[in-house]
Structure 1
Amino acid sequence: MPTPKRLPKPTPAELGLLRTLWALGPSTVKQVHEAQQRERPDLGYANVLRLMQIMHGKGLLKRDESQRSHVYAAAQPQGSLQGRLLDDLIHKAFAGSGKDLVLAALRGGRVSDAEREEIQRFLEDTRDA
């Protein structure tokens, strides 16, 4: 059985557009551009269009061409892509240890008190499961 084609890792700019599409759902370039302008007012429409065309060519986006304005959607659900990126990070930066990743995040001041409480509740809930 052939192995499935592995999608390329998105660049930081591509990941930003994917986050916008995950939040909006299937959208036109205009809708994505308007949403992106809230964070990056300097970002031009042509830049968003070109990046989305490149992402479509790479397989990161799907495109519905049935209407005059093409509608784009992420090719992978958010959790699936994030899981793949996380696996890659754990393998490369933490020698495959998820524990080392979690400890680095907790020790590095990257987790707020509210997030720590949520993590603690999760650990307690899953301990009994």
Structure 2
Amino acid sequence: MKRLIAAALLLAANAHAATLTLDIQGLTKKTGHVLIAVHADAASFGDKGKPVAVRNVEVKDSTLTVTIPDLAPGVYAVSLFHDANDNHKLDTNFIGIPKEGYGFSNNVGARGRPSFADARFTLAADGTTLTLTVF
């Protein structure tokens, strides 16, 4: 009986999970990895909290599709960067301008890090697909 209840609870929890699909375009090199973070709030988006999901995906082409399942429907923002040299950091020049590609949901941030409010989107219960352009 306990197993039946546990299975029912697990199925109920998964019924409320949504899938986020990211179509990433504009990768200029076919090397390294794209590091992706999905943020549920402004603190996480501002590097003062923990993302709800992270992915590290190998780059083999100029486009990439990444699926992130099991997220609760709601408001999120995505940040990513193309770690072309696989040193696990976003390389910048001496004044802090990125030398590797980066992107955000809603394709904001071409001229600097956007706010959570600018990058936020709503993940629908039946899933959402976003197209992100790497700057």
Q: TM-score, normalised by structure 2?
A: 0.19
Specify which structure has the higher proportion of strand.
2
Task: With the length of structure 1 as denominator, give the TM-score of the two structures.
Answer: 0.20
| Bigger Rg, which one | 1
Greater RCO (Cα-Cα under 8 Å, separation 6 or more)? 2
Please state which structure has a larger fraction of its residues in helix: 1
